[in-house]
Structure 1
């Protein structure tokens, strides 16, 4: 699938990694992909978002409000547990399940270390570096991986041979994704509205 990404779409995904890292988050979510889209100054869909008042600074502020910054020793920092509870997400239960499955500290931030050699510019899961430490890149959350997979379907539906920024954006606009839906709600909109705007702009440009 990744060979079908345009250069700008690849930049979005790599920017999402940087956004997650700068916020101190332990994985890359759809909210970071949204920030990656907004970073593409020349992208028409980024302009569509900005027309609705969804700018990179405003979106980053909304992400911080919902998720906090990962400055704490447990890798989550100032995550607002009450905000996550309101979204139906029990942070303690998520951590407990992860540690039962993957062992203690499964959600802790990776220690810095040499970057592993990799074939893809944006690997989707953790890999070990040569010293056996988990480091280098930040793993993608399952909902972000699903969004990337949906972007392929969006490209097919729009009869495009390549996966562009517009397909990535459409792929992450899933109403079932409670976190990104909450981020958009704080920005005064919701996934269905943004999707309609994007499709309308794409139709006018065709």
Structure 2
């Protein structure tokens, strides 16, 4: 599949790993791919999304917020709604951490799957003995792999012979991906609206 990726799309995959490292995360998720794709300001599809307020800067802020909340995507309004029902999230977390230690309610990290075929895109460096691997290959989560697989299907459905940044974005803008959907909604848009903008940008560039 990756032989069909354009140079720009390959750079998105590579940059997603850098974004993951910069955020201190352990595996590449679809949200990191989205962030990397949005960083390509010169791409027509990305420019179309920026007109909706979906930018790399706003995306990075929302990904960080989501990670800080343990990936739950619960914001102040959600917490207030639960509080009106007698459910205080802060109190629950405080009691759990007092009993079981810090981070007791944090979700287990999503088990990454090795991304076959991506190794040729990203150089692998051996970890130094006694230290964490720096600059080497990071595994891709199942969500990220599905998004990349969808990008191939998007290219085929559009009868394109290559997979570009726009196809990667279309693969990411899927309502089934709850993480990217949450990030998009925090930026004030919906996957369908963002998808229409990408397709519009693609037509303008044609």
TM-score bracket for the superposition, by shorter chain length: 0.7 to 0.9
Unaligned runs of 5+ in 1: 69-79, 99-105, 107-117
* C-alpha displacement of 1:161: 0.7
- Superposed CA RMSD in Å reads 3.0
Kept in 1: contact 2:73–2:182 (CA 8 A):
no
Bigger relative contact order, structure 1 or 2, given CA contacts below 8 A and separation 6+? Answer: 2
* C-alpha displacement of 1:164: 0.3
Partner of 1:45: 45
Partner of 1:196: 196
* C-alpha displacement of 1:205: 3.7
Match of 1:84 among 72, 75, 79: 72
* C-alpha displacement of 1:198: 1.3
Partner of 1:141: 141
SS at match of 1:84: coil
Map of 1:29-178 to 2, 5 A cutoff? 29-68=29-68, 80-81=69-70, 84=72, 86=74, 95=108, 119-122=119-122, 135=133, 136-178=136-178
Larger Rg: 2
Q: Structure 1 pair 181/137, CA: closer, same or farther in 2 (3 Å)?
A: same
Kept in 1: contact 2:29–2:144 (CA 8 A):
yes
Give the structure-2-normalised TM-score: 0.72
Partner of 1:103: none
- In 2, the alpha carbon distance for the partners of 1:10 and 1:17 equals 11
Unaligned runs of 5+ in 2: 76-103, 113-117
Kept in 1: contact 2:155–2:163 (CA 8 A):
yes
Partner of 1:181: 181
Count matched residues.
171
